[in-house]
Structure 1
Amino acid sequence: MSPPLRPIPLFLLILGLIVALPRSGVAQDGWPGDWQTYWSVGEAFVLLEQRGETVYGTYQPGDGRVTGITQDGVLRGTWQEADESGSFIFVLAQDGQSFAGRFGSGDWWNGHRAGIAQQQRPDWWSGATPQAKLRSILAAGNDAQYHGREGQVRWIEPLLSYDGPEGDSSDRDRRRRTLWHILDISTFRLWDAPVPPPEAEPGTELTYDIGPAGAGATYQLVFRLDDTNLWQLVLPPGPNLQADLARLIAARGYKTLDELEKARAGSPRMVMMDFILGTADWDGAGGARALRALDLDHVPRQLRRAEGALMADYLKRTIDRIGYVYWQEIPDDPARPLPYTFYRHPLGKIIIAPTDIKDEDGRLVERLWRFSRDTMEALPALYEALERMPIAPGLTAPPPLSQYFATRRAVLARADGLQRRVLGLELWQWIGLAAYLLAMSGVLALARRAARALGSGRGPMAAHLAQMGAPAGLLMAALLFLDASERLGLTLRAFGPVSALSAILLIFAVAALAYRAVSLVHGALMVRAVQTSAYTDEIVLSLAQGLLKLLVVIGAVIACADVAGLPYEGVLTGLGIGGVAVAFAARETVANIIGGAILLSDRPFRKGDMIEAAGTLAVIETVGLRSTRLRTMDNTLMIMPNAQLSDQVITNWDNRQRRKVQMLIGLTFDTPRDRLERFVARLMEVYCHQPDADTEDVTIGVVSLGPQSVDIELWGHFKVVTYEAQVAAQQALILDILSLAKEMHVSFAFPTRTVHLAAAPPATGQEDVPA
């Protein structure tokens, strides 16, 4: 049985659970607001208000009313439309942004919060003429369909009348949606709508034929003047509308509306829509959407965001002054053979033109409709001509998309007189350009002063740090220049190359800084590397420095070529061919570098080792990327190219685990045998007692009778590595041997010569008498 919880921890646990539970008063926004609702066979826009627990409101279309009581986020009530009524229940979601509901009949009725609809009749709403009527329907429908302001559909219902049998709200809703699809897939000019005669009487009807672009099929809109002298758009029965919609879709060559929607995605209309809707969400995903609508192929890829923002700003502000854009006035046929001219002015045109993307065989892969390059070049002049034109009714001044327009708005808000243009630029631009140039000069001067101050210090690191001053100053100046080109709008005019120049300057500054940084890091690491006995660190550092610097140079060249609009494939090919030529011209240097890499991989010696190569005995001092420095026994410096050294037979005298000792000890011939045998046995003991002697691999014994001595050979090894240790061990052994000889009273033979004198020859004339 578990022990009971203490009172205080239990209280804290309960309090934490209570705090963690969602509270309807905080997490929910309540029922008041605008709601887009839908059920299985229709939809409606509901406006709700709340007083205490009572919720009431209206919905369109249908001019219906709802009322109910809410408790803990659950709304129970009734709806009423004309002679129809029923009950419902809504359950508000925890976040207060949607609800799930059900009619009393059992059908579902759900909804979500919509964009705040205009509570008062919009300025563009009018039924005075068929043209005004059609404009009002398109404005409300486009707002709801494409701008996310679903509440605007409420203003469509008063503009319509229904022919045929009077249906319920679901029937009217289906008719409205079908009519909207017919309007949306058609291309027509509002100015072509019929103009009513001044003497028109109630009941007068006017017609206007519309239809999809390039299809040849049409649908006849019927406008009827009602008793209040307002024109109504007449909707025929639902089956007739459905048949007309299917006929128009078939005329475009498609079976369903979904197929047609997918097919017209790359049309001039969708390009305009992508641009305008994309600029509304510029800082989000809309920015990329808007830029895709512009032909920026002539702008380097790295500059397209900045350049594209400026072009988009010019274009959006120009379009807003031209007039309100109704999507249905722009053709939506992607197979249109000719470019679409949206606007024409003596200073230029706004054109949406196709770009054919073909494969290597010349076959068409894709056709992209975009605002043309000529449009991009004409935008500054067009905007200058239209700048004083008020923004079209129904639109608001857009926020700046580029640094240029943001800066311009801030400056002119304080000094409007600086807008006067001089030599192609406005006064505030000239002032800003002078300020930027002054700041760049100050940064460069400060960098030079800092470099001189660091250069006056001692040590290699101070020198390396001093070399970083100039690239750092150049980088800061390049950043200022790039910022100036964006904020001052020095592009799209005679200053077109300014952006590319600023980007190239920035690339050069970054490359120079990286190049010097590689040298700085290499110098710092090399200081530590020379203090070690391994030469591999130095070779690796030298190779790494060379490769990194080469990569920095190649990367800078490719980046500059990309900014300049040159294909990087050609640049890489040129670098490859140039590299082959340089390698052939400097093949000896390349061979030495490869030799250094071979020495790095094989590691036949270390720094300080004594080696023998090409018949020369020398000590390794340093191993570089191209050559190796050696010090001979007579203290002569010898520099050998790595290519030659790696091809030699190298004997490393220091790379041994033990060193051989070999002696020939000569005793005099008059040494007795027994003493000679005891000397050999004691000699073995003396050797084995040496601290560095290898007792497992030794041979001692009489090997020969020399010209002057009895020769005893000692052949063994000392477990030492360096030559100095070998000399010390061998000295100790020799001294012990001398002591042993003195102790045993044996003498070392030394070179002697015995002379035998023969008797004098007999006198002349005497003969030896035989015995």
Structure 2
Amino acid sequence: METLHTLFDQHIFGIGLGRYATAFGILLAALILRRVADHLFNRFLVPMAEKSANPYDDLTLRSLRKPGTFLFTLIGLFLAVQVLQLPVEPMDVRRFAHALLKVLITFDIAWALFNLVSVLEAYLTKWAHRTDSTLDDNLLPFVRKSLRVFIVFMAFLMAIQNLGYSISGLLASLGIGGVAVALAAKDTLSNIFGSFMIILDRPFCVGDWIKAGDMEGTVEEVGFRSTKIRTFAQTLISVPNNVIANMPLDNFSRMPKRRIKMTVGVTYETTPTQMREAVERIRALLRRHPAIDQDFFLVNFTDFGASSLDIMVYCFTTTTVWADYLDARQDVCLQVMDILEDLGLEIAFPSRSIYLRGKEEDGLPAPADAKA
């Protein structure tokens, strides 16, 4: 026993071994309590929150679980520092340890706030879905990212201040170097302004099918720097916002209806009576077709083509969904084929007629005209 007292009375860096052992025991107890608290969160609090009708309480618990349990570690570190009574001479280790604890507390609070942004986003998303405007839906990613960037930036400033540095000098230096930063980051700033123009002007929204230059696909995200487009080949294109904001753009999702435009060519053996009958019956087909918009359509015999007599069919479908549009177009084509078959008409294909004319030579008769 006396040997144990003698051992604990020994000092390392001016601190007795007994204090080291006590501080270690406090840290070990804090880590055990952290595990117990985490178990209680998962075993009792989270199931209770999931049973409630309010969807935000379980999101809040999930957001606060890890930062909340980390508090036990911080409390253990604080008590350990108090027990150790760190020296202040020749170097003020105690002050440094307290500053480090403040930094960790700032980090823990920022961690909790960073996670709670998802709860606010869920609430705003539910609110945005109640409105008819798509502007608020596009603003949500900006609100989420802006809040998180602000939280990280403020935590960084507070951490610097807790370490004993003056943030006024830092802010002043940021002001002095603002011009240099702006010049170095002019492309980034132009992309940010481009993203604001996209949100305010709304040439497209998330989920729209667009085509800009050689790029075509569905908009997945409008970010600070770029817009992400998922192509039909399932590749992902990231386009800088300042580029796409200045490009001519087709938004297929804004179409109120989809166009069908085709030319039906029949052979030159078709008589005028058959042509008139074919045109009238195709018009009647479009007039009674449930998938064809009745506000405007055209069916006319338009041209004497090189290989065919051409009938133009021009109409619009009531649906803009790609699959439904293709089904409607297919049905119109098949019914046009039925009409032509019923009238005994044939669809023409590219062909060429060659006439061979010879001369009477050596008393031989001229060959008859040949047609190929």
Report the equivalent of 1:514. 110
Q: Deviations over 1:225-257 (max 9, x none)?
A: xxxxxxxxxxxxxxxxxxxxxxxxxxxxxxxxx
Report the equivalent of 1:661. 260
Structure 1 unmatched ranges of 5 or more: 1-422, 424-429, 455-460, 765-771
Report the equivalent of 2:353. 754
Q: State how far apart, in whole Å, the 2-side matches of 1:561 and 1:633 are.
A: 48
Q: Deviations over 1:146-204 (max 9, x none)?
A: xxxxxxxxxxxxxxxxxxxxxxxxxxxxxxxxxxxxxxxxxxxxxxxxxxxxxxxxxxx
Q: State how far apart, in whole Å, the 2-side matches of 1:624 and 1:548 are.
A: 14
Deviation at 1:602, TM superposition (A): 3.6
Report the equivalent of 1:38. none
Report the equivalent of 1:730. 329
Q: State how far apart, in whole Å, the 1-side matches of 2:268 and 2:137 are.
A: 60
Q: Deviations over 1:65-105 (max 9, x none)?
A: xxxxxxxxxxxxxxxxxxxxxxxxxxxxxxxxxxxxxxxxx
SS at match of 2:300: strand
TM, length-normalised to structure 1: 0.35
Structure with higher Rg: it is 1
Deviation at 1:701, TM superposition (A): 1.3
**Letter of the structure 2 residue corresponding to residue 675 of structure 1:** Q
Contact in 1 for aligned 2:212/2:248 (Cα 8 Å): yes
Contact in 1 for aligned 2:231/2:237 (Cα 8 Å): yes
Contact in 2 for aligned 1:478/1:506 (Cα 8 Å): no
**May I ask how many residue pairs the two structures share in their alignment?**
323
SS at match of 2:303: strand
**2:316 counterpart of 1:717:** yes
Specify which of 88, 101, 105 is matched with residue 505 of structure 1. 101
Q: State how far apart, in whole Å, the 2-side matches of 1:535 and 1:659 are.
A: 23
Deviation at 1:556, TM superposition (A): 3.1
SS at match of 2:216: strand
Contact in 1 for aligned 2:38/2:69 (Cα 8 Å): no
Report the equivalent of 1:647. 246
Q: State how far apart, in whole Å, the 2-side matches of 1:585 and 1:438 are.
A: 52
**2:26 counterpart of 1:439:** yes
Q: State how far apart, in whole Å, the 1-side matches of 2:107 and 2:307 are.
A: 79
5 Å-filtered alignment, 1:112-127, equals: none
Deviation at 1:687, TM superposition (A): 0.7
Report the equivalent of 1:681. 280
Contact in 1 for aligned 2:30/2:76 (Cα 8 Å): no
Structure 2 unmatched ranges of 5 or more: 1-10, 12-16, 42-57, 364-372
Contact in 1 for aligned 2:33/2:72 (Cα 8 Å): no
Two-structure CA RMSD over aligned residues (Å)? 4.9
Q: State how far apart, in whole Å, the 1-side matches of 2:225 and 2:36 are.
A: 36
Deviation at 1:619, TM superposition (A): 4.0
Report the equivalent of 2:151. 552
SS at match of 1:647: coil
Q: State how far apart, in whole Å, the 1-side matches of 2:21 and 2:345 are.
A: 104
Contact in 2 for aligned 1:450/1:466 (Cα 8 Å): no
Q: 474-483 or 734-743: which moved more?
A: 474-483
Change in CA separation of 1:619 and 1:586 when aligned onto 2, cut-off 3 Å = same
**Letter of the structure 2 residue corresponding to residue 706 of structure 1:** G
Q: Deviations over 1:344-383 (max 9, x none)?
A: xxxxxxxxxxxxxxxxxxxxxxxxxxxxxxxxxxxxxxxx
**Letter of the structure 2 residue corresponding to residue 638 of structure 1:** I
Deviation at 1:536, TM superposition (A): 7.9
Change in CA separation of 1:436 and 1:578 when aligned onto 2, cut-off 3 Å = farther
**2:257 counterpart of 1:670:** no
Specify which of 688, 695, 708 is matched with residue 307 of structure 2. 708
SS at match of 1:654: helix
Q: Counting helix residues as a fraction of each chain, which structure ranks higher?
A: 2
Deviation at 1:697, TM superposition (A): 1.3
Deviation at 1:734, TM superposition (A): 0.9
Contact in 2 for aligned 1:519/1:545 (Cα 8 Å): no
Q: State how far apart, in whole Å, the 2-side matches of 1:584 and 1:701 are.
A: 61
**2:292 counterpart of 1:696:** no
Change in CA separation of 1:447 and 1:628 when aligned onto 2, cut-off 3 Å = farther
Deviation at 1:716, TM superposition (A): 1.6
Specify which of 190, 198, 220 is matched with residue 599 of structure 1. 198
Report the equivalent of 2:212. 613
5 Å-filtered alignment, 1:418-457, equals: 438-440=25-27, 442-444=29-31, 446-447=33-34
Q: Counting strand residues as a fraction of each chain, which structure ranks higher?
A: 1
Change in CA separation of 1:521 and 1:663 when aligned onto 2, cut-off 3 Å = same
**Letter of the structure 2 residue corresponding to residue 680 of structure 1:** V
SS at match of 2:360: coil
Contact in 2 for aligned 1:666/1:749 (Cα 8 Å): yes
Q: State how far apart, in whole Å, the 1-side matches of 2:219 and 2:247 are.
A: 15
Q: State how far apart, in whole Å, the 2-side matches of 1:642 and 1:452 are.
A: 46
Q: State how far apart, in whole Å, the 2-side matches of 1:680 and 1:548 are.
A: 63
Deviation at 1:730, TM superposition (A): 0.6
**Letter of the structure 2 residue corresponding to residue 683 of structure 1:** I
Q: State how far apart, in whole Å, the 1-side matches of 2:78 and 2:286 are.
A: 82
**Letter of the structure 1 residue corresponding to residue 289 of structure 2:** Q
Q: Deviations over 1:310-356 (max 9, x none)?
A: xxxxxxxxxxxxxxxxxxxxxxxxxxxxxxxxxxxxxxxxxxxxxxx
Change in CA separation of 1:539 and 1:503 when aligned onto 2, cut-off 3 Å = farther
Change in CA separation of 1:474 and 1:724 when aligned onto 2, cut-off 3 Å = closer
**Letter of the structure 2 residue corresponding to residue 676 of structure 1:** M
Contact in 2 for aligned 1:659/1:718 (Cα 8 Å): yes
